[in-house]
Amino acid sequence: MHRNIILCRHGQTHFNRTARIQGQSDSPLTKTGLEEIKKLAKILYPDMPGVIYSSALGRAAYSSAIYSQILGIPVHFRQDLVELSCGEWETSLRTDVIGSDVLIRSSWVDRPPGGESYQDAEKRLGVFINELLTASDSVYVMVLAHSGLNRALVRSLLGLPIDEALYIRFPHNTIYKINMDGNVNWIGLSNRSGSGFLREKE
């Protein structure tokens, strides 16, 4: 690691709230999602990023635009930060294809029918990660993307074991701060905070 990264996810969407699989399909932010993004933007001080790199998908682009407006910093939209494709499962209810408490991908190389694996995502992130680690425009940089994409990103950045990266949680209402020494801290709403990554059920 050669820089400090604020890593987060887009705000809650209608598909998130109704447990539909999104992938590279899109859905508008809910009222809760909008409110949470605005609140998170206001707690970033004093470690304010100098720039935002955002997924180009609508839900992420709208979320990053809110951060940009409140913090007064530019956004660069990146196609390589879009969520992993879920192929034939996109827009389906989770319960109809995988069950409510099951991860969409059970391993690092598992692909939904016609979709992408975490390994696939790591490959398309290579150029971005190199740019991220060698740029020198600010102390903190924000990356705003998606839960699946973010897992691939932190594994590449930190060299995490696959069985650890696979279960990292990226709640909509939480920000991770990844420091130059590799330390990770999270900040949520209602004065919640802690160290390390939050984890999904295994």
Q: What is the pLDDT of residues 95-109, one digit of tens each?
A: 999 887 778 999 999
**Contact indicator for 80, 57 with CB cutoff of 8 Å:** no
Which range has the worst mean pLDDT, 28-42, 135-149, 186-200?
135-149
Please indicate, yes or no, if residue 202 is contained in any of the structural domains: no
Model confidence, pTM: 0.94
Average pLDDT over residues 12-25: 97
Percent of the chain with pLDDT over 70: 96
CATH of the domain at 144: 3.40.50.1240
pLDDT tens digits, 112-130: 999 999 999 999 999 999 8
For the chain, the domain total comes to 1
For position 65, what pLDDT does the model report?
A: 97
Average pLDDT over residues 148-163: 96
Highest mean pLDDT among 7-16, 93-102, 174-183: 7-16
Q: Is residue 201 part of a domain?
A: no
In a domain, 154, yes or no: yes
| 200 domain residue, yes or no | no
Query: What digits encode the pLDDT tens for the residues 21-80?
Result: 999 999 999 999 999 999 999 998 777 888 999 999 999 999 999 999 999 999 999 999
pLDDT of residue 8: 97
Domain range for residue 51?
A: 4-195
Average pLDDT over residues 190-198: 95
**Within-domain flag for 36:** yes
Structure tokens at 181: 């020494």
Q: Determine the pLDDT at residue 11.
A: 98
